[in-house]
A and B are shown apart, each in its own frame.
Chain A
Amino acid sequence: MKRFPAKPRRRRALIALVALCLCSGMAATFAQGERTQEGNLIASLDGGLSPLLLPRHRLAPVALHLEGGLQTDDGSTLPRVTGMELGLPGQGVLTTRGLPVCSPTTLRNATPEAANKVCGPALIGRGRLTAEVLITNQPPFTIHARLLAFNGRIDGRRAVILHAFAASPPTVVVLPFVLHLRKGRYGTVLIADLPPSLGPWPHFTHFDMTLSRHYVYRGQKLSYLSASCPLPHIITAGVFSFARATYVLEDGGRISTDIPRGCRAR
């Protein structure tokens, strides 16, 4: 007699468990983002804008999150990356008017605390970086670094200066991504050259980065990044080409992944 009410409860619990498994499976799928494979090398990219709900006809402050990386499908050593390009849609607006600038030389050998002390007013984002370190006659090992992103200028061009700091072993790398404006789908491109002098870092496996900065300049509230969701009134949400990550490899090869993402119009 008592067993009858227990059955639907058990079934509900089972359904909930299956739903939970499905949801976590889907979350795992999305967490990796989109992937591309060339030979045994897999490049991945994920990210999005926050908030998703944006005005149709005017710009609003946004935060941009990007994460991605490289891996091999057979666990072999990652190739060295000699350059990286991050393409973002030209419709987004990047404002640096009145934002302090940080010079890469001031960040050399600085801990994150020291970097913040010197360049704090130019801070535009934070993140993490994981790299595979290869030293001759030693097995490869992984290091984890904190990333700080600062507004900068390189040869008169706007740039994002990345400061990577790993505590063990203590390592500091300063990497400028120079901003180029181009025609086409990804009109805003951040380009970094990764010279051999960077040492083991170019074998990086994963990065995640959030760019966002609100500031006041001459009494005006400004945002480092702004975007709108320019959709006609007949639809409430749209999908657009959001970002493309291209890795230039030491053998001259390139691997890139691009991702579409959505916005909702208000």
Chain B
Amino acid sequence: MGAAKGSDRRPLAAVVVLIAGMLCAAVASAAEAPARDEYVAQLERVCKPDAEATQRAMKGARADLQAERLGRVAGKFSQAAAIFGSTIGKIAKVPRPSGDLAKLSRWFGYLQRQESYLRQIAAELRTDHAIKAQKLTVRFIHNGNLANNVVLAFGFDYCSFRFSRFG
């Protein structure tokens, strides 16, 4: 009987250990996942220098376009795309707030599309397809606004899309 009782307790102990383990894991992941404010601050620290670098890279793009120096404008868009791609890479590694996972996943989707648009605009300009680049620019701006709307409540500054940074 005593042996039987001991064997009955073993599965119970295993369940307790399992629950305790799950609780520990939950506590650990809760500790890893930052609060939204903390997350925003972390991302802004990454985005700020990159946004400023984009602004520097795009400086004079409007004048170049005006003077029909499409090759130079293409170079500036390529540089902006490279900076943007590197920013996405860096901010994607930052642990996300557990309550915002779905929202941020959508946002990153839009950001990747933004990078793709920048590369496509550069490619079209390099091959003198100005009208195609013009159409892509409209999509780029629309996509940027959609991205901003997804994370509106986060109150991003440097991590949000601002057309004025692109010349």
A interface residue numbers (CB < 8 A to B): 29, 34-39, 42, 73, 185, 230-239, 241, 258, 260, 262
Contacts and interface: CB of A to CB of B under 8 A. Distances in A.
A241 B131 contact: no
User: How would you classify the secondary structure of chain B's contact residues: helix, strand, loop or mixed?
Assistant: helix
Interface in B138-167: 138, 141, 145, 148-149, 152-155, 160, 162-164
Interface stretch (B7-15, B60-68, B79-87, B106-114): B60-68
B123 interface: no
A232 B153 CA distance: 39
B109 to A, nearest CB: 17
A39 B68 contact: no
B163 A260 contact: yes
B56 to A, nearest CB: 15
B155 A239 contact: no
A237 B134 contact: yes
Given A73-B153, A235-B133, A260-B163, 10 more contacts: A37-B152, A37-B153, A230-B66, A232-B65, A233-B68, A234-B70, A239-B141, A241-B163, A258-B164, A260-B141
Interface string B37-77: 00000000000000000000000000001111010000000
B137 interface: yes
Contacts of B66: 230-232
Closest 7 CB pairs of A and B: A260-B163, A234-B130, A37-B152, A235-B130, A235-B134, A232-B68, A241-B164
Nearest to A233: B68
B119 to A, nearest CB: 18
Contact of A234 (B68, B137, B153, B162): B68
A42 B152 contact: yes
